[in-house]
């Protein structure tokens, strides 16, 4: 019996190349889907209907479900629930605040202990003699929001990560509703929370539906989705951290961008056009570059505005401490769907 999984190499396209001294050293294959603000397909690279695990790009849906369950989070506190944060004191303070408002402390967190991603924060913690802890883990904002939702709804907190828990059931239902798909498979994410497989097309559609939701909607779930969209975009620093690609893209372009493990990436233009990308080898090298180009190709992002940001996305290949090559767009990206826009990124 064949093992369940995502698309195969034969169904992928070249998303990025990695050059060193003019020699193409690596080629990364994958697939990508782009939809308009209504969730209608605009373009596809490779197999966009095969299931993928969204990993941390699922956090917008998870935050939405927590909000709908009654988690009292808004503004930066809602943004940190969507983020994979750097573990700086500002990030950690937000997470602690979410927990404290729910009458909890960090001992309730069931994500694994970790050191801060931010090097200065990590060094300071080591020098202080303090151990690593779950609150520094990049997903602790999501977990704090889940716990706050459980407290608000009167659900147990000891097993809040169990797939059968009411909150996890609500998350799965929300993903199915917004993606327009049945969940193809479920697994355990790196932080211990359930993660559910949908297609790249479904993931892009879910992001577009969140972005196009209105605070004036007669339906509460769409009012909550509008809050997720607005608050995450207003506070991009909480989604990642200073100097990291997701935050830079949000600050400079107003694009809601989110990375996930194993080469998954989503980017949503201000007008709701959404791109979802999966690197088949899980590397994700150049994923922000690919996602931005897809938004450019779809006519949702001005290439002249995006181009100055590209040198800041960490695409350099080093040799002896100096730049000797770059991560660049692969042959499958620029002209796979109309309208074709000349890329300033290649």
Round to whole Å and give the CA distance between 97 and 115: 19
Round to whole Å and give the CA distance between 30 and 17: 12
Q: Residue 35 above 70 pLDDT?
A: yes
pLDDT for residue 28: 98
pLDDT in tens, 154-166: 999 999 999 999 9
pLDDT for residue 68: 97
pLDDT for residue 24: 97
Q: Residue 344 above 60 pLDDT?
A: no
Task: Please give the C-alpha separations between residue 306 and each of 53, 88, 104, 301, 302, in angstroms, as whole numbers.
Answer: 28, 27, 42, 7, 6
Task: Give the tokens for residue 68.
Answer: 């709908």
Dump strand ranges (E) for 264-312.
264-268, 274-279
Q: What ranges do the domains of the chain cover? A: 9-329
Round to whole Å and give the CA distance between 6 and 198: 10
DSSP state of 113: P
pLDDT for residue 334: 58
Q: Tell me what the mean pLDDT of segment 257-275 comes to.
A: 98
Q: pLDDT band for position 3 (50/70/90)?
A: low
pLDDT in tens, 52-107: 999 999 999 999 999 999 999 999 999 999 999 999 999 999 999 999 999 999 99
Round to whole Å and give the CA distance between 39 and 77: 27
pLDDT for residue 189: 98
Q: Per CATH, is 9-329 categorized as 1.20.120? A: no
Q: Tell me what the mean pLDDT of segment 186-209 comes to.
A: 98
pLDDT for residue 304: 93
Q: pLDDT band for position 345 (50/70/90)?
A: very low
Q: Tell me what the mean pLDDT of segment 194-204 comes to.
A: 98
């Amino acid at each position: 019996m064949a093992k369940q999984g995502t698309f195969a190499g034969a169904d992928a396209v070249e998303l990025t190349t990695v050059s060193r001294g003019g020699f193409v050293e690596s080629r990364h294959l994958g697939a990508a889907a782009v939809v308009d603000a209504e969730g209608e397909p605009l373009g596809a690279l490779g197999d966009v209907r095969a299931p993928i695990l969204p990993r941390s790009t699922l956090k917008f849906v998870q935050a939405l479900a927590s909000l709908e369950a009654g988690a009292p989070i808004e503004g930066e506190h809602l943004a940190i629930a969507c983020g994979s944060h750097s573990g700086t004191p500002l990030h950690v303070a937000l997470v602690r605040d979410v927990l404290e408002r729910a009458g909890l402390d960090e001992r309730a967190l069931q994500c694994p202990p970790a050191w801060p991603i931010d090097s200065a924060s990590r060094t300071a913690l080591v020098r202080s003699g303090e151990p690593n802890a779950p609150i520094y883990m990049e997903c602790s904002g999501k977990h704090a929001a889940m716990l706050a939702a459980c407290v608000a709804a009167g659900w147990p907190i000891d097993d809040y990560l169990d797939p059968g828990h009411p909150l996890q059931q609500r998350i799965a239902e929300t993903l199915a509703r917004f993606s327009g798909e049945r969940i193809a498979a479920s697994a355990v994410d790196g932080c211990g929370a359930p993660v559910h497989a949908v297609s790249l097309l479904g993931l892009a559609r879910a992001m577009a539906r969140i972005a196009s939701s209105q605070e004036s909607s007669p339906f509460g779930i769409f009012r909550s989705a509008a809050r997720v969209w607005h608050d995450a975009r207003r506070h991009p620093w909480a989604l990642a951290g200073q100097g990291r690609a997701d935050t830079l893209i949000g600050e400079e372009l107003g694009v809601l961008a989110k990375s996930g493990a194993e080469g998954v990436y989503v980017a949503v233009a201000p007008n709701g056009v959404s791109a979802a990308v999966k690197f088949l080898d899980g590397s994700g090298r150049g994923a922000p570059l690919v996602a931005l180009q897809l938004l450019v190709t779809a006519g949702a992002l001005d290439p002249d505005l995006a181009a100055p940001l590209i040198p800041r996305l960490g695409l350099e290949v080093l040799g002896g401490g100096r730049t000797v090559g770059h991560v660049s767009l692969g042959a499958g990206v620029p002209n796979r769907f109309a309208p074709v826009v000349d890329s300033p990124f290649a």
